[in-house]
Amino acid sequence: MFSLNGSSSPSIAVYGVSKSLTRRKIGAPLVVAAAASSNRSPGDGNVVLMENSLNVMRENAPAAPSPVTEKDSKSVVGGGVEDFYGEDDVSADQNVTPWAVTVASGYPLLRDPRYNKGLSFNEKERDGHFLRGLLPPVVISQDLQVKKMMHNIRQYQVPLQRYMAMMDLQERNERLFYKLLIDNVEELLPVVYTPTVGEACQKYGSIFRQPQGLFISLKEKGRILDVLKNWPEKKVQVIVVTDGERILGLGDLGCQGMGIPVGKLSLYTALGGIRPSECLPVTIDVGTNNEQLLNDEFYIGLRRKRATGQEYAELLHEFMCAVKQIYGEKVIIQFEDFANHNAFDLLAKYGSTHLVFNDDIQGTASVVLAGLMAALKLVGGTLADHSFLFLGAGEAGTGIADLIALQISKQTGAPLEEARRKIWLVDSKGLIVRSRIDSLQHFKRPWAHEHEPVDNLLDAVKAIKPTVLIGSSGAGRTFTKEVVQAMASYNKKPVILALSNPTSQSECTAEEAYMWSEGRAIFASGSPFAPVEYNGKFYASGQSNNAYIFPGFGLGLIISGAIRVHDDMLLAASEALAAQVSQENLEKGLLYPPFANIRKISAQIAAKVAAKVYELGLATRLPQPQNLVEYAESSMYSPRYHNYR
């Protein structure tokens, strides 16, 4: 898109263009006035004078044999429309300039998702912005638009169709999209994110319509700084980046993993209040080892095997350096759905130089720890009084285990090594024990305790007799009836967390957990499940969803001006979330508060995280606000429409 002023600031609403613009040929430089909308921060100028660059572009363009300005005034294209730019006279092998001069008035305003209000433009705005006749005469409120959109979305029976309807709305009316999502978060969260986003990624090539982020591939190696400059927004606060190698529990989806950064950042805005213009989704395309995608004619990524080793590391390093150079030290870089071998290395390599956060490792750990803190109110005791058995020893499993051990160590004063002895992990080869240590990946070795080898989960449950069973394996239906019954035989109230996404990969369903434990299980899952009736009692299972943590966590980093992430900030987020779980929630079987209150919950989390940032001396936004909760709430983006001059 050609910008009139050479800038792409999201805060500029251009108006005041003469109606005659559409009736004459473009000749002399067009000068228009632009007013800053109320989105702009205090201190920004209210009026920016902008001059287009048509003459500059004409001067730099090669000379044409028949200048546009000298064309016969009678020359027309089909329909009697004058061909100002001569595009209909060129042959297929000649180049033309893709002119696109956009001002926020008239038809372009209706096509600008940032400022479009649809039928909510009032009478004054329709006159002032040349919309009269371009819209039906009725004027409706944004709330009625939300009601209408929800009615339409509910007509779709297929979740992917609902997802596509939401993405279409986001591309044509940004504020209505976020208003709709915020007001109906419990119903729409599974649509814009897990589990539906998994299917969307699998079919991303087929449903791809408009790019919603930056695609950086091996083709751009050595030019990533220039690629980042192509992004229209100059102020970015949060980047979510993936290489698509481990999308949810679905494996390597290559370039089609872009649905994950897009979905995550939608939640950063809807749940955490980060401005959409300050969010940047990125996919690093280094190829894919998914043969099905490589043979798919609709696949949108590089058709090559996945790069590894030095080639991969150099591309990622160039990206990290370029991001810091363009957006500064305080931009949050969230790693998402990288394979284990890269996820841990990237977090360790850049944790001391960048503001990095891995949601699969750290976000999952924080939200699960919060659920366990809430569960203690039902089962009694402290974390140190319980034993934990994990199925899955990858990013999520070891990340959760690390944070649980850290919390136990802080609560008891015991060394971290001693706290780890309360925690056992099972991987694809069985219980992780000391005799296997030479063959273990580095991130599994701290969990190799002295014990005889155990080959499978059921035998591990019988040997360890844990009070808490946590699934992060990505392998569906692995909490079998025998496993759940064994847990119930050792515990009056067994805590069972089936965290893998999407729903098809969940270790067990809510119904299975409650039925097989005779209604005694304290259950939560990564994907949502409907309430379950057992012996005349209804059980509403909680969803251990990272969306409880990362939006508020990110907001806390932003409002404090944090420059690094520290584990103590994750603990603070867990404690803040657990404190939001009421006794009424617990009585219903919920280990997490309702998502309907998520913005208030995010503000509480942001305040606790920000307080910890200040305490650790990692804040740059000084002085510290007196009331961090109020400050967090006041910093949140509002999707309500603004009135235009």
Q: How many CB atoms lie within 10 A of CB 300?
A: 18
| Rounded distance between C-alpha atoms, residue 527 and residue 194, angstroms | 7
| Rounded distance between C-alpha atoms, residue 110 and residue 125, angstroms | 12
For residue 137, give the DSSP letter. S
**561 contacts: CB under 8 Å, gap ≥ 6:** 330, 619, 620, 621, 622
- Cα-based angle 175, 179, 180 (whole degrees, multiple of 5): 115
Q: Is 116 annotated as a binding residue?
A: no
Residue 106 φ/ψ region, left for φ over 0, alpha for ψ in the -120 to 50 degree band, beta for the rest:
left
548 is catalytic: no
Among candidate residues 163, 178, 193, 592, the one labeled active-site is 193
| Rounded distance between C-alpha atoms, residue 630 and residue 267, angstroms | 21
Q: Quickly list H helices, 286-427.
A: 291-294, 309-327, 340-350, 364-379, 395-412, 416-420
- H-helix or E-strand containing 572? helix 567-578
For residue 627, give the 3-state DSSP assignment: coil
Q: Is 278 annotated as a binding residue?
A: no
192 token code pair: 């814009």
Q: Is 427 annotated as a binding residue?
A: no
Q: Is 112 annotated as a binding residue?
A: no
| Rounded distance between C-alpha atoms, residue 379 and residue 520, angstroms | 11
| Rounded distance between C-alpha atoms, residue 184 and residue 165, angstroms | 15
Radius of gyration of the chain from its Cα atoms, rounded to whole angstroms: 27
- Cα-based angle 19, 24, 29 (whole degrees, multiple of 5): 85
Inter-CA distances, 471 with 58, 368, 474, 477, Å: 62, 11, 8, 10
Q: Quickly list H helices, 184-276.
A: 185-192, 196-202, 204-207, 224-230, 259-272
110 token code pair: 């209706």
| Rounded distance between C-alpha atoms, residue 265 and residue 637, angstroms | 13
464 token code pair: 């360890």
264 is catalytic: yes
Among candidate residues 264, 330, 422, 608, the one labeled active-site is 264
Asked if 417 contacts 582 with a C-beta cutoff of 8 angstroms, the reply is: no
Asked if 371 contacts 495 with a C-beta cutoff of 8 angstroms, the reply is: no
Q: Is 445 annotated as a binding residue?
A: no
Q: How many CB atoms lie within 10 A of CB 199?
A: 18
Q: Is 342 annotated as a binding residue?
A: no
| Rounded distance between C-alpha atoms, residue 404 and residue 316, angstroms | 30
Please enumerate, by residue number, every residue annotated as part of a binding site for (S)-malate.
246, 501, 545
**Which residues are documented as binding site?**
246, 336-337, 360, 501, 545
Active site residues: 193, 264
Known binding positions for a divalent metal cation: 336-337, 360
